[in-house]
Structure formats: structure tokens, C-alpha cells
Amino acid sequence: MNAKREARLKRKRARIIKTHVVVLITIVSAAHLTAQSPPTASTQEGCAQFVQQFYDWYLAKAKALTNDPSQESAFEVTLREKKSSFTSALAQALKDDLEASKKSPGEIVGLDFDPFLNGQDTAEKYVAGKVRPKANHYYVDVFGVWEGKKNPKPDVVPELALVDGKWIFTNFHYGKSDIPVNENLISILQQLKKDREKPTK
């Protein structure tokens, strides 16, 4: 009798363990599918809207500062007023680069172009185009409009991430180059910093 009871208890425990394993596998599988699910159209649309709003704001700021006697650039104002729109690392690297340039006004020790526009001249308008998700980041084509015509290729491709429900810029890409370091903002800033840290001869 005791042997039969023990056998029944063993079978019962086995069924309970099996049930728990199945439930655990189901939970893990669901979490995996959620993490791997493709970005929704609304997410990509939200990303494009954020980028378009940023460039509309930036262009308006740049035009307003054109005749400003303070000589403050739109780039400089952005680092102050829109700092939260960038990762802390990117914002700090841009700030360091700007401060280094101010300390050496007669030399080129930092960025010599607008990193958000990828140029020294400002177009009439900037238009956010296609959004390309890659891993957890999003790449948005931004086209300059000159004399009413949109450039055939993007002027710049901002890279963004959605963090705690808020879009932030993580990098800016400029296309293929014979000098790979020039293909994105972060690598350019890193190279400029290395150059500044080299001992002077």
C-alpha cells in the first residue's frame, strides 16, 4: 500500500514539474517574441515626426541668429536648449568640441561644419524621409531643399533611439567616404579629440 501511494505521489510531482516547465517556456517564448517583434508603423511615424520637428526648429533658429550680434550659432544654442534630445555622451562630446574651438579661434581644432546639416550652408528647408529600423535604433533620411528642389540623396542621416518613451539622437551619419572616420559624427568627434590631445612638437 505504501509503495503504491509513493508511486502515485511521484507521478503527481512529475506532472506538477512538467506543468511548471511548460508555463516557464511559454513565458520566455512570449518575451522573446515581444523583444523581436518588428517596429510598428506608428513608431516609425513618430520617429520621423520628431526629426522633422527638430529640423524645423533648428532651421528657424539658424535664420533668426543670422543677424544676431552675439554671433552665437544655432549649433551652440541647440546644445543649451535641446541638450535632452541627445544622448549624454554625444551632448558632452559636442560641448567639449565647441569649447576647444572657442579656446583656439585662429585654428581648426574642432568641427568646421554644421554637424546636424552636414555642411556650412543652410538649405531653404529640410525634409525627413524614410525611416529604417536597425536593431533598437532608427535611421532617418533628411533631405535639404535648395531652390525648391529636394536633393536626390540625403544630406544627413540622424540615428535615434526611443528611451523611456522619448526620442533621442545617438549619432549623425554622412554617407560613405574615402576616409571612414568622416562617415559619422561620433567618429569625427573622437578623432578630433585624439588630435587635440597629441603633444605639440
Alpha-carbon gap, residue 100 to 68, rounded angstroms: 22
Local confidence band at 198 (pLDDT 50, 70, 90 cut-offs) = confident
Q: Tell me which residue has cell 510531482.
A: 13
What pLDDT is recorded for position 137?
97
Give bridge partners of residue 146 from the DSSP assignment: 149
pLDDT digits (tens, 9 = 90+) for 10-65: 555 555 444 443 333 333 333 333 334 456 789 999 999 999 999 999 999 998 88
Residue spans of alpha helices (H) in the chain: 2-36, 41-64, 74-81, 88-103, 185-197
Domain 40-197 class? alpha beta
pLDDT digits (tens, 9 = 90+) for 174-197: 999 999 999 999 999 999 999 988
Please report, for the chain, the start and end positions of each structural domain, with discontinuous segments joined by +. 1-37, 40-197
Alpha-carbon gap, residue 92 to 79, rounded angstroms: 9
What pLDDT is recorded for position 155?
97
What pLDDT is recorded for position 105?
80
What pLDDT is recorded for position 26?
36
pLDDT digits (tens, 9 = 90+) for 79-110: 999 999 999 999 999 999 999 988 888 788 89
Residue 7 pLDDT > 90, yes or no?
Answer: no
What pLDDT is recorded for position 89?
97
What pLDDT is recorded for position 35?
38
Local confidence band at 9 (pLDDT 50, 70, 90 cut-offs) = low
pLDDT digits (tens, 9 = 90+) for 122-172: 999 999 999 999 999 999 999 999 999 999 999 999 999 999 999 999 999
Q: Which amino acid is at 176?
A: K
Alpha-carbon gap, residue 32 to 51, rounded angstroms: 30
